[in-house]
Amino acid sequence: MKLQPDRSNGLTINAYGEGWIEVNGQKFSHSLIVSSLPGAMPNEWKVARFDSLQASDFEPLASSGAELVIFGSGQRLRFPQPVWLQSLMARGMGLETMDTPAACRTYNILASEGRKVVVALLLEP
């Protein structure tokens, strides 16, 4: 799906498809963390499968400085185990879970509103 360009100063998810995401014109084919915070760059999220997720995979999200975390769980909706989210809960951060395409769209809307949001997008092979 091709999305319309946004006028945000931060990172924008331009397009996505099965197995890839395009951020600010750069195409990625691995799981990714994208932040709307100034100066942020897309970072590889070293998670290949939902079944391999651990609590330590969510710690970079907790230390991101965002007000809200979005978790894109892949092509279908799957919820993280509560134990994985302890680092977020300790900081009082909220987490919204949705499939990866919905997470991309939601991130763009919140980022265009100037919200401090970070999205973790799971791309499974």
Please name the residue that has the structure tokens 């987490």.
Answer: 95
- At 125, the pLDDT band (50, 70, 90 cuts) reads confident
Q: How many angstroms separate the CA atoms of 65 and 35, rounded?
A: 9
User: What's the chain's length in residues?
Assistant: 125
Q: What average pLDDT does range 103-123 have in this prediction?
A: 96
- At 6, the pLDDT band (50, 70, 90 cuts) reads very low
Q: Is the pLDDT of residue 111 over 70?
A: yes
Q: Is the pLDDT of residue 8 over 60?
A: no
| H-helix or E-strand spanning residue 62 | helix 59-62
Q: What is the pLDDT of residue 7?
A: 53
Q: Is the entire prediction scored with pTM above 0.85?
A: yes
Q: Is the pLDDT of residue 42 over 50?
A: yes
Q: What is the pLDDT of residue 10?
A: 80
